[in-house]
Amino acid sequence: MDLITNVSEYEAIAKQKLPKMVYDYFASGAEDEWTLKENRNAFSRILFRPRILRDVSKIDLTTNVLGFDISMPIMIAPTAMQKMAHPQGENATARAASAAGTIMTLSTAATCSVEEVASTGPGIRFFQLYVLKDRNVVAQLVRRAESAGYKAIALTVDTPILGRREADIKNRFTLPPHLELKNYEGLKAAKLNKTNDSDLAFYVAAQNDRSLNWKDVKWLQTITSLPILLKGVLTAEDTKFSIQAGVSGIIVSNHGARQLDYVPATIMALEEVVKAAGGKIPIFLDGGVRRGTDVFKALALGASGVFIGRPVVYSLAADGEAGVRKVLEILRDEFELTMALCGCRSLKEITRDHVVTEWERPRIDPRL
């Protein structure tokens, strides 16, 4: 583990250590997995315009998200069933996030409950919410998150139906028998049992509400005073609707490329959303971040911060809490280095002028 020099190296270790069904669940995307690859590849088509001689002897990475001060603009995205990666699951991730001074988002489909994660100690935590057919259960989940001290709700809006994840179908994915979806404890559906298709698809089909719409966002605002982030917005049109609905922020996300294939990489969709928001609400990016350079590119294109998902579960599988700590440390160090080499001493100095995207690159005149 001492020899790990970048975040991506954890994936190979996780692949070795985890059962195939579990690794494939974390790693796979929808259908052809074009968007899965594109989430990473798109970053490589954005280049830097570094500024020199800027006195970068002191660099400040700190930022504020929804009124909470954090050490860096790198936060943890909600990923389900983390005990499949490591026995301590979400509890280990929560401790690592807290140690790094950043935010962890707990999934509705976690294998540790909101209360268990809260009891790991101090820390700023958000709760990711799926709206289920049974609104009483939704209200209960929100109340529990509030009581346990969570600071915001990240409402996932891109999953009225589960995407077609072929690896899960082939593997007949099911939650290992010793684990439970702890936030659903006491409900009939907390256990996933083998069916002919992917169990997860069956479960989500049974629970998630396909009729989810903008009225439900309004309803959610009536049952909680917590700020609401919409996770899964990719277009200018929905950004404008989000602002009209009075949400506190947007997470540009394609669900780790696990829902609709052939949507753009999140880094490609980001600027459209940022422009449509016009500074009215903060915009965050989730998807494909593996390097500090990726974090800088997202901020240069207008994001207020990024969320990381797969690097967390891979490092958790490889080395538990220490692995997640190391991932956050590596990304932080790389981001700080990128800032220095681009001539930026604070986040507010990172501007659109620091990057050039492929659609802006000068074309060579064929007559030359």
Residue ranges at the known binding site for FMN: 78-80, 107, 128, 130, 156, 231, 253, 258, 286-290, 309-310
User: What per-residue string of b and e applies to 13-50 under the rule 16 or more CB within 10 Å gives b?
Assistant: bbbeebeebbbbbbbbbbbebbbbebbbebbebbeeee
What DSSP letter does each residue of 144-193 carry, written as one string?
A: HHHHTT--EEEEE-S-SS----HHHHHHT----TT---GGGTTSGGGS--
Binding residues: 25, 78-80, 107, 128, 130, 156, 165, 231, 253, 255, 258, 286-290, 309-310
Of 197, 196, 211, nearest in space to 161 by CA: 211
Residue 354 among the catalytic residues: no
Residue type, 15: K
Give the tokens for residue 53: 């001689």
Binding residues for glyoxylate: 25, 165, 255
Residue type, 151: K
- Annotated catalytic residue: which of 86, 178, 255, 354? 255
Q: How far is CA 265 from CA 43, 214, 254, 271, in A?
A: 9, 24, 8, 11
The DSSP element (H or E) to which 213 belongs, if any, is none
Distance CA 146, CA 140 (A): 10
Of 314, 315, 297, nearest in space to 306 by CA: 297
Which residues have a catalytic role annotated? 255
